[in-house]
Structure 1
Amino acid sequence: MPASVLQITDAEFARFRDYFYRRTGIYFEDSKRYFVDKRLLERMRHTEYYSFRSYFTFMRFQASGQEFQQLVNCMTVNETYFMRERYQFECLVEETLNEIVQYPQNKARTLRIWSIPSSTGEEPYSIALSLLEYWPLIEQVDVEIVASDIDTHVLDRCRRGLYSDRSLMHISQDIRDRYFLPKGANQWQLCQDIRDSVLFTQVNLADLAQTREYRHFDIIFCRNLLIYFDEPARRRAAEVFYDALNPGGFIFLGHSESMSRISSLFKVRKFNKALAYQKPLD
């Protein structure tokens, strides 16, 4: 079949959707059909497989798994900016961290924060900047920030720390001047010290062999990811986060997401500026 007339049938779309869901937990509604088809066809042309069947077989059984990872990178959406939903960062430094450091078991130990998905890095770097600028105890308490994403391309971008004016639109000029260096037209690079303060890792939230390595966190930011999951995948993700958190730890979700509708494992905590979901201390 000529590359110019490649098409994905309804049955092929359904087959790919089911496979991608099993591997990642991300479920594509019918409304995403054009988006999925477009990216599948791009990968088929790139790999010179001109039927869905031959490409799908190649992608599933490739020993290195590189083509599946390329598909994941194509199919995931990474749209964010610094200090998105600022009130949650304010809640973090004004209330939740102050509560956590009071737990007897947390005296003289490193507090750990997990940002997933990291996307292009704006969220974990916003956490680091908030701690440095607005949490007085940062001089007394060691904090480790881990940021994870399924998309390997965005992790490379995270580590480079290059951002556009749009990404920095909610950053004050003072913060920009102190932590970002101009890198040509509409480009800014976060300073090396802040980039070094975050550990970036690749992880598939649907792969329990990977997620079982993520334990002993005090705070998790998982914002605007669960909206791409169906109910069973959301429940599995909630169990992953429950196991990853220390007793008394908190998870922040996106403003349109609710852990209460997903799992009874967590209790709702209403702080002055934001809602969070807590793993019980008992």
Structure 2
Amino acid sequence: MTRRKADLLARASALSPLSAADLTILCDFLYSRTGMQFGESKRYYVDRRVADRMVENDLVRFADYFALLRATPSEAEQLINSFTINETYFYREEHQLACLSNSILPEIIRSKRPGDKVRIWSVPCSSGEEPYSIAIWLLENWGLVDAYNVEIVGSDIDTAIVAEALEANYSRRAVMRLPPELVERYFAPVQGGRIRLIDDLRESVTFTPCNITDTASVSRQGQFDVIFCRNLLIYFDASARVRCMQNLFNSLVPGGYMCLGHSESMARISERFITRRFPEAIVYQRPERV
């Protein structure tokens, strides 16, 4: 630990916890920007991150920090980045990847010709493991991958984590679910015992910042044939989930598919999707005609 970091941690721990009123103000701010809900039950999580940002800005009063937060978009971005959860790994929920190659893509290409574009969106993408997993899986398991112009996009509200995804530099833990031969084929060792995705794979995925609760931010991404939006809705309340699904519904081409996390369901969120039960997974489809 560097001396400066140790000093910052000591100063942050010395700050008083937020008052109940300040906690409410801060959580309302985060909710309006991200759709994520925080409150008294997550006070320690909130206090720690706000204290870190206050120390970083040489402030000791929350009122002064909140004024800075409201007036400075870059500080709001930094705070939001500190609240995002980016735990993932390669080949997470592998059954959905199998569903993509075995069931979803064969249906999609029925209305396409060789050379046509197939767009796949991974949001949130964290540090890139999920969209890169899609690229590796298709290379290994979809025989028609070279017959179509497959475009994979990864997006996240956390701009710092998007930068990490572009670097594609990982610990060995991130590839614990990958067969060893795939690690050897698609990664190269780098300093510190870490590994980096090979250039061809890094260049196969495009990364963009995106807030999926914000309609304008989502619409800038265009439309997709398949969207992977996994393990995000659990952080939203009912209203934010509905808003999110309205945005993602509009981001699917007619007939496009939505994959949610294993603990998530479209029930009580949106009736606009068709539930599809494939052998590998349950997914949700935008109807061909609305």
Report the TM-score, using the length of structure 2 for normalisation. 0.93
Instruction: Report the equivalent of 1:240.
Output: 247
Structure 2 CA distance for partners of 1:88 and 1:3, relative to 1, 3 Å: closer
Does the Cα contact within 8 Å between 2:23 and 2:39 map onto a contact in 1? Answer: no
Does the Cα contact within 8 Å between 1:3 and 1:45 map onto a contact in 2? Answer: no
* Distance in 1 of aligned mates of 2:67 and 2:214: 21
* Distance in 1 of aligned mates of 2:100 and 2:271: 23
Instruction: Report the equivalent of 1:15.
Output: 25
Structure 2 CA distance for partners of 1:245 and 1:107, relative to 1, 3 Å: farther
Does the Cα contact within 8 Å between 1:73 and 1:153 map onto a contact in 2? Answer: yes
Range with greater deviation from structure 2 (235-244 or 213-222): 213-222
Instruction: Report the equivalent of 1:75.
Output: 83
Q: Helix, strand or coil: the match of 2:234?
A: helix
Does the Cα contact within 8 Å between 1:21 and 1:27 map onto a contact in 2? Answer: yes
Instruction: Report the equivalent of 1:203.
Output: 210
* Distance in 2 of aligned mates of 1:29 and 1:98: 45
Structure 2 CA distance for partners of 1:5 and 1:217, relative to 1, 3 Å: closer
Q: Deviations over 1:25-74 (max 9, x none)?
A: 11114321110111001101110121111100111012xx1100100111
Q: Deviations over 1:87-140 (max 9, x none)?
A: 000110111011100026x66520100100010110000000011110011121
Q: 2:52 aligns with which of 42, 50, 62?
A: 42
* Distance in 2 of aligned mates of 1:268 and 1:128: 25
Q: Helix, strand or coil: the match of 1:167?
A: helix
Shift of residue 214, structure 1, vs aligned partner:
2.3
Instruction: Kindly report which structure 2 residues correspond to 1:164-203, keeping only aligned pairs within 5 A, or say none.
Output: 164-203=171-210
Instruction: Kindly report which structure 2 residues correspond to 1:1-282, keeping only aligned pairs within 5 A, or say none.
Output: 4-62=14-72, 65-103=73-111, 108-282=115-289
* Distance in 2 of aligned mates of 1:122 and 1:108: 26
Q: Helix, strand or coil: the match of 1:114?
A: strand
* Distance in 1 of aligned mates of 2:15 and 2:260: 42
Does the Cα contact within 8 Å between 1:269 and 1:275 map onto a contact in 2? Answer: yes
Structure 2 CA distance for partners of 1:3 and 1:99, relative to 1, 3 Å: closer
Does the Cα contact within 8 Å between 1:146 and 1:201 map onto a contact in 2? Answer: yes
* Distance in 2 of aligned mates of 1:3 and 1:88: 43
Equivalent AA in structure 1 for residue 119 of structure 2: R
Shift of residue 195, structure 1, vs aligned partner:
0.3
Structure 2 CA distance for partners of 1:213 and 1:259, relative to 1, 3 Å: same
Does the Cα contact within 8 Å between 2:115 and 2:147 map onto a contact in 1? Answer: no
* Distance in 1 of aligned mates of 2:40 and 2:273: 32
Identity percentage over the alignment?
Answer: 44
Shift of residue 185, structure 1, vs aligned partner:
4.2
Q: Helix, strand or coil: the match of 1:35?
A: helix
Report the TM-score, using the length of structure 1 for normalisation. 0.95
* Distance in 2 of aligned mates of 1:33 and 1:266: 36
* Distance in 2 of aligned mates of 1:203 and 1:5: 32
Shift of residue 260, structure 1, vs aligned partner:
2.3
Structure 2 CA distance for partners of 1:5 and 1:122, relative to 1, 3 Å: closer
* Distance in 1 of aligned mates of 2:220 and 2:71: 26
* Distance in 1 of aligned mates of 2:171 and 2:101: 26
Instruction: Flag structure 2 segments of 5+ consecutive residues without an equivalent.
Output: 1-11
Range with greater deviation from structure 2 (28-37 or 136-145): 28-37
